[in-house]
Structure 1
């Protein structure tokens, strides 16, 4: 079987990526999801870019993104930031995040179903 592509994977909702990487949101993300502005940290003006205006992770006293609920599910999934929408299940960053949390590699769908 050739190497699987990210399209061959489906996120299992482990939440590992939400604690392994810096997570930033844009002003447009905050317009789509008002909780971003209300509950995260706005970057200093000189640090802002078109993609980065708010920091969701890391924040003080949080081990992962502040929008993960007690079940490690995204509480703003439908309106999540673009960076989260672009994160691909099964790609190298996903697998590294899982390994850092002591989770097994995410298997391609064909292997999980078969």
Structure 2
């Protein structure tokens, strides 16, 4: 997404500097999405979702680089979650608030 076209994007946010907190959110896989099958799971209601590792992180997260290992095949929900956008900011704020409450 071009930040020049969307003034709601915070250009100071970069996934490379983030704890990838969005990669712990549930991700519904929609019709037309085509992530590799071994990254998929089913939730309690029978919906297709991105699988999580035992620690709650998305299994597609490349832990060394802290980025999506299936970026070109990521689900629509992930593609719409703009780096530095409103949803990103809210999740990052929630993450910080929870971290501070645990100190």
Q: TM bucket by the smaller chain? A: 0.5 to 0.7
Partner of 1:105: none
Shift in CA distance, 80/10, structure 1 to aligned 2, threshold 3 Å: farther
Matches of 1:38 and 1:55 in 2, distance apart? 11
> Aligned to 1:97, which of 88, 91, 95?
91
TM-score, length basis structure 2: 0.63
> Root-mean-square deviation (CA), in Å?
2.8
Partner of 1:28: 32
The range that moved more, 67-76 or 92-101, is 92-101
Partner of 1:18: 23
CA contact (8 A) 1:68 1:74 kept: yes
TM-score, length basis structure 1: 0.58
1:77-113 CA-to-partner distances (Å, cap 9, x unmatched) read 11111111111222332112222333xxxxxxxxxxx
Report matched runs for 1:73-112 at 5 Å.
73-102=67-96
Structure with max Cα Rg: 1
Aligned length in residues: 87
Structure 1 gap segments, 5+ residues each: 103-114
Runs of 4+ in 1 over 3 A off after TM superposition: 8-11
